[in-house]
Structure 1
Amino acid sequence: MRAHRLTFAALVVAAGLSLTACQNDDDAAGATDPSSASSASAASSSGGGSGSGGTDQDSGKGSDGKGTAAPADSGSGSGSGDSGATPKCTTDGLKITAQDGFIEGDPEGSVVVGLTNGSGADCVISGFAGVDLKTNAGTISATRKGEPGDPYTLRNGKEIDFYVSYPLNESGGSGVRITGLVVTPPNETKSVTLDWPGNSSLPASDGSGPQVLVGPIGSAGQGG
């Protein structure tokens, strides 16, 4: 009976030593092999790198660090911001005429200048035309009066007008004789010289009297 008890006790001790050895082996493996922890850390770091690329995109930058905002003229398809817009009216595309617009009783003389689009396509016009009166005493440049309207699309074959006003010569003298009207369309440098359709002279002046004035495009007539 004593022998059996000793054998059982020996078995219990052996089993305990075996379990302790297994546990110590597992602990040692965890202490000497940090691959599992470092792998998790590396995975987290990799995720952060991908996120930083997203941050570049959110801030308007691409992979090269430069802005990726579309240029203002990207809709044109050719790099020119106005390639798809209606072109401006040019001197060569306009037929320019002038007629007397004076109405009896008015304190000033008036000439209506008409601009007819003969270019074959619609064009845009706005602002003031340049107006000069050629006289026997030299050139007199008209002074702008009024506020220009918004840019106006002048359809092919249609006309738009503006006025030129000038002081009447009521002095009884010969005054300053007008020999021609020079018109330069807005934003153009090429001029057209027309016959002057109004009164033949201006009152002689030292510059302190009434001026020759020009109204903005569309200031006379209805246009079209």
Structure 2
Amino acid sequence: MSSSATTRTVRRRTLRVAAAALTAVAGLTLTACSGSDAGGSKAAGQAGSAVAAAGSDGAGSGAAVHGAEPQAGSGAKADNKAEATAGGAGKQAGSASAARGGKAGSGIQRCHTANLKAAFATGEDAAPDPNASGATTTSIVLTNKGGRACKIGGFAGVDLTSENGGQRWSLARSSAKHGSITLNPGDSTDFSINLAMAAGSDEGSYQPAHAVVTPPNETTALTLDWPWGPLVHQDGATHPGTFVNPIG
């Protein structure tokens, strides 16, 4: 064989080896890419399966709680029994609430003006001292004339009107604490009014003709004749000597 023929043969072998090497490298590269894709698909598939499994478990638990047909027996029966017990307790709680609501609905209401009678306490000890210098009192008695018990407490509104009806004095209220009391049919309670009597006073006087009394939380009033003498006129004073005290 000539030297040129030998050279051509070696060259062809070299090219075949190079081509084979390139093919092998390409195969490895494709295999690596394919492996990565497969792994990603597998991971995604597993994650999807896990989510599906979790959703299935959740649905299964919910179905069991809501009375689905038991598969294994004791566990499902226990769940159904617990559900029945909880349902019974809920019904009992609802019944108790309804009973309480009914009781509250039939409770004692406040005293309304239409069921009250008002009068000044005019007994010997109840009459204010006309010569007192701002330290005397009078009382107004409120009587339940209705046919059922009622509650009353707080401040009544008291307006004094003059003899000619042209001047109205809304009495201030004290800062005394108060509660509420229950009046059965025929029962009475009272509240006091501090008075600054005008007898012997150098200040201007005010002679009331009537006391207009509005029971607590009411808008309708009861009108009484004023049985006492004149008061020191202090309707614009910051701390007047004539003011109302609370019921209860």
Shorter-chain TM-score: what band?
Answer: 0.5 to 0.7
Matched, 1:215 2:210: no
Which among 186, 193, 196 is matched to residue 157 of structure 1? 186
Alignment map for 1:33-52 (pairs within 5 Å):
42-52=72-82
Task: Give % identity.
Answer: 28
Deviation, 1:147, is 1.3
| Residues 1:199 and 1:145: Cα distance change in structure 2 (over 3 Å) | farther
How far did 1:181 drift? 0.8
C-alpha change, 1:171 and 1:121, in structure 2 (3 Å) is same
Q: Name the one with the larger strand percent.
A: 1
Mapped contact 1:142–1:211 kept (Cα < 8 A): no
* Mapped partners of 1:73, 1:187: distance in 2: 29
Counterparts of residues 4-83 of structure 1 (less than 5 Å): 42-53=72-83, 56-57=86-87, 61=90, 68-70=93-95, 72=97, 74-75=99-100, 79=102, 81-83=104-106
Cα deviation, 1:163-199, whole Å, max 9, x if unaligned, reads 0113222433542332321111122221111112232
**Runs of 5+ consecutive residues of structure 1 not aligned to the other structure:** 1-39, 219-224
CA distance in 2, matches of 1:71, 1:210: 52
Say if 1:80 and 1:187 are closer, same or farther in 2 by CA, change over 3 A: farther
Matched, 1:92 2:89: no
Taking structure 1 as the reference length, what is the TM-score of the superposition?
A: 0.60
Find the aligned partners of 2:98 and 2:76 in 1 and give their Cα distance.
39
Change beyond 3 A, Cα 1:207–1:123? same
Partner of 1:166: 195
Matched, 1:102 2:131: no
Higher helix share: 2
CA distance in 1, matches of 2:73, 2:229: 92
**Which TM-score applies when normalising by structure 2?**
0.55
Paired letter, 2:80: S
Counterparts of 1:111 and 1:210, CA distance in 2: 16
RMSD, aligned α-carbons: 3.3
State the partner residue of 2:215: 185
Aligned length: 170
SS of aligned partner of 2:211 = strand
Which amino acid in structure 2 is aligned with residue 156 of structure 1?
Answer: P
CA distance in 2, matches of 1:176, 1:68: 62
1:104-144, CA deviations, whole angstroms, 9 ceiling, x for partnerless residues?
A: 64633422101122113333222222222224543323313
Distance, in Å, in 2 between the alignment partners of 1:73 and 1:185 is: 33
Kindly indicate whether the alpha-carbon contact (under 8 Å) linking 1:144 and 1:213 is maintained by their aligned counterparts in 2: yes
| 1:140 counterpart letter in structure 2 | S
**Candidates 145, 151, 154, aligned match of 1:118:** 145
Distance 2:204 2:71 in 1: 102
